[in-house]
Structure 1
Amino acid sequence: MELTMRWFGPADPVKLWQLRQVPNLSGVVTALHDIVPGEPWTSQAMQALRSVVEAAGLRLSVIESIPVHEDIKLGNARRDERIQAWLESLRVVAAAGVQTVCYNFMPVFDWIRTDLAHPQPDGSTSLVFRQAEVERRQIGVGELSLPGWAEAYTPAELADLRAAYAEVDAAALRQNLVYFLRAVVPEAARLGVKLAIHPDDPPWPVLGLPRVVSTTEDLRFILEAVPNEHNGLTFCLGSLGARPDNDLLAMVEAFAPRIHFVHARNVKRLSDRDFDEVPHVSHFGSTNLARVVLRLEELRPRVPVRPDHGRMIWGETGRPGYGLYDRALGAMYLQGLIDAMRERRQHG
């Protein structure tokens, strides 16, 4: 697999020159983060982003993400307009030579955690999720740390979205996803871009909102609804692994040809709905990350993989989950697994 790392642009505390020094890391996963969701991306901005990455000696490997506007998820009167804007962005990405686009279809909230700096026994801090805590809080800016949304919506906008989703159950959301895929996958195929939907995080309904990318059955439905290789998956071990009834190895076996991007992250499940993010090394968590990554390298040796989320260690401060040090350690753990499988293939 191609070893990559996520980078949040020039304002990211982690710099491209630092990523360049992670052994064998060649790819950057990023996006045009300053463009409002629903607005089409421009060729000038995309080419500028590519130039910055390449000037650092790295490759623009994956776009994560082109945001899917809430109008599309809701299936309202503006969804066709929003889909056309999304397609304009996709064409811009393809023109810049990027062949993999990760996106998600989670209503309102991106990944949800209840603590972004939970103390761990070794003195590090990490992201954690507690179901009871998230459900008892009132949603409002400053009352709950939900990365990606607090700055994007005013309290009034959040209230309006919650009201709109009261009319959208899981079945309706699933059909809205299929509508979107049928509109965009043919163009992605024409452009030669692999679309890779990210699982729900966490992979169950939260705050009364439906989730439809959480289980083996969900993934099978999505892939069969639009049976085109350009309609694929971001296989996030941490998201899917937070749910105890998800068999990650079985998922790899079932869906390998349609896995276009891998997020490698380990979680320790404390109950069916509570978990901590822990070091990437398998025995620290509930996910046998080594076994799954070895099989992925065997079946999908050319897809990009990135160490997903990391603890804050050695006194580092920065963007929660996206510091340099622990993700670099995770990258080296992944590289060791990749090397082991390559040696096995070469020498038996």
Structure 2
Amino acid sequence: MRQTWRWFGPKDGVGIDDMLQAGVEGVVSALHHVPTGEIWTPEQIARRQREIATRADGSPSGLAWEVVESLPVSEDIKKQTGDWRAHLAIYKQSMENLAAAGIEVICYNFMPVLDWTRTDLAYRVAHGGTAMRFDLHDFAAFDIHILKRPGAAESFPAGVAEIAAERFARMDDAARRALTTNIVFGLPGAAEHFTLEDVRGHLAEYADMSAERLRGHLIDFLSEVAPVAERLGLRLCCHPDDPPFPLLGLPRVMSTEADYRAVIEAVRLRANGITLCSGSLGARADNDIPGMMARLGDRVHFLHMRNVTRESEGTPCSFHEAEHLGGDTDMVAFIAAVLREEARRRAEGRADASIPFRPDHGQDILDDLKRRAQPGYPAIGRLKGLAELRGVMTALDHPAHGLKP
């Protein structure tokens, strides 16, 4: 398992020197400043590579940009409207440029309108640190009373709309603005940043889009880009929906094992693969994360290792980001499944036997609370998570456990 770390660029509050002290082996990054639908040029890619390769004092870091997260897919491509064919050509050219620069793994997602969604970016947990949280009732309050989406109240499970109304009535204007900010444009790495009117406009354009049709558009997209990736030696890996259930009346197509299986079987190229995120998928109790790794492992190209604590039963539910070994997903079993897959690949002689992973998200603890890095991406919280994961990896990969071929 190759240990990587997400970096948002020079403005990230956690820098290259911090990564080195964390002991990571490679870097996950993206050109977040390039608008969706524009080409990632060789010059821009090379600049990011130089930034990663250089310490604060100008000396070499020894680190390299190894995984792209994310090369965003435009809304036009997802809807197959407007300039989607031009955007598809631009996407392919960006892939060509990344491959020419020596980068082999590209993570992307196919979530309509919003990327990952949280209602609270600094939820205080028992030990006094903070974590990101998705509260179903707060989200319903936003959807029904702030966004005022037609039919929103009827789209939630029984009783949710009533509690949401009570929550909304207790919020002052500042709380309502904060909730809106967190949901609409508060998250790091999002491909787009929308106003409420933007969101309403996009929702209207998706009004008649079924999950089956959106999945068809994803398969159409992959039918175009996966052969290019195969030719270039790239590995494409789709991130799951986060949360893995429908929001705002939008279709979701990457929330379960069945969703992933449908897509990888539709485009039978090894380049068409999976970002297996234990946190996103773990927000559904019916997702068996270690089992998914065992059954779909041949097409897993990238791993996000994090944990969530589900706060309510059923789907959808409220949840918050847990300590990496402390949530509802059995991370030891998950890592064991990853190591078995890697052993299988080594026995086959595969060049991609070592699967890159990163300690995804993290609770803000200790000096993180003063540093105020990107929400979900603190220095110490992620370092703690990486140390825990590294300890499990080291123990399970010991020859006494028989995981090596």
Correspondence for 1:161 among 183, 199, 202: 202
1:33 corresponds in structure 2 to 32
Q: Is residue 107 from structure 1 mapped to residue 112 from structure 2 by the alignment?
A: yes
Partner of residue 89, structure 2: 84
Determine the structure 1 residue equivalent to 2:46.
Answer: 47
The reply on whether 1:291 has 2:290 as its aligned counterpart is: no
The 5-angstrom pairing of residues 1-348 of structure 1 reads: 1-23=1-23, 25-55=24-54, 56-137=61-142, 138-139=146-147, 143-146=180-183, 147=187, 152-271=193-312, 272=314, 273-281=317-325, 284-300=326-342, 301-316=353-368, 317-343=372-398, 344-345=401-402
Give the conservation status (yes or no) of the 8 Å contact 2:37–2:91. Answer: yes
Match of 2:154 in 1: none
Q: CA deviation at 1:175?
A: 0.6
Identity of aligned residues (%): 39
Asked whether the equivalents of residues 104 and 198 of structure 1 are also in contact (C-alpha less than 8 Å), the reply is yes
- Please report how far the alpha carbon of residue 151 of structure 1 lies from its aligned counterpart in structure 2 after TM superposition: 6.6
Q: Which runs of 5+ in 1 are unaligned?
A: none
* 8 Å CA contact retained: 1:248, 1:292: yes
CA distance in 1, matches of 2:116, 2:67: 19
1:269 corresponds to which letter in structure 2?
R
Distance in 1, matches of 2:192 and 2:49, equals: 26
Tell me the distance in 1 between the aligned counterparts of 2:403 and 2:260: 33
Q: Residues 95-143 of structure 1, C-alpha deviation per residue, up to 9 Å, x if partnerless?
A: 1101100000000101101110001010010001112221221239752
Q: Is the 8 A contact 1:234 1:262 kept in 2?
A: yes
SS at match of 1:81: helix
Question: How far off is 1:329 after superposition?
Answer: 0.9
C-alpha distance in structure 1 between counterparts of 2:262 and 2:404, whole Å: 38
Secondary structure of the equivalent of 2:397? helix
Q: Secondary structure at the match of 1:21?
A: helix
Q: Residue 135 of structure 1 contacts residue 206 of structure 1 at CA under 8 Å; is this kept in 2?
A: no
Q: Which has the larger radius of gyration?
A: 2
CA offsets, 1:227-272, max 9 Å, x none? 1100000000000111001111221111000000000001111113
Q: Distance in 1 between matches of 2:404 and 2:118?
A: 44
Q: CA deviation at 1:46?
A: 0.2
Deviates more, 1:146-155 or 1:85-94: 146-155
Query: Mean Cα displacement is larger for which, 185-194 or 68-77?
Result: 68-77
Q: CA deviation at 1:162?
A: 1.1
In structure 1, how many angstroms separate the alpha carbons of the residues matched to 2:116 and 2:273?
20
Q: How big is the shift at 1:293?
A: 1.2
Conserved? CA contact 1:75–1:176, under 8 Å? yes
CA distance in 2, matches of 1:199, 1:93: 23
TM-score (norm 1): 0.95
Contact persistence 2:29–2:67 (CA under 8 A)? yes
- 2:10/2:51 contact within 8 Å kept: no
Match of 1:179, SS?
A: helix
Q: Number of paired residues? A: 345
**Contact 1:298–1:341 at 8 Å: present in 2 too?**
no
CA distance in 2, matches of 1:219, 1:27: 27
- Contact kept, 8 Å, 1:135 with 1:207, in 2: the verdict is no
SS in 2 for 1:233: strand
State the one-letter code of the partner of 1:225. Answer: A
Cα–Cα, structure 1 residues 289 and 150, in superposed 2: closer, same or farther, change >3 Å? same
CA contact (8 A) 2:115 2:191 kept: no
CA distance in 2, matches of 1:115, 1:347: 42
1:165 partner amino acid: Y
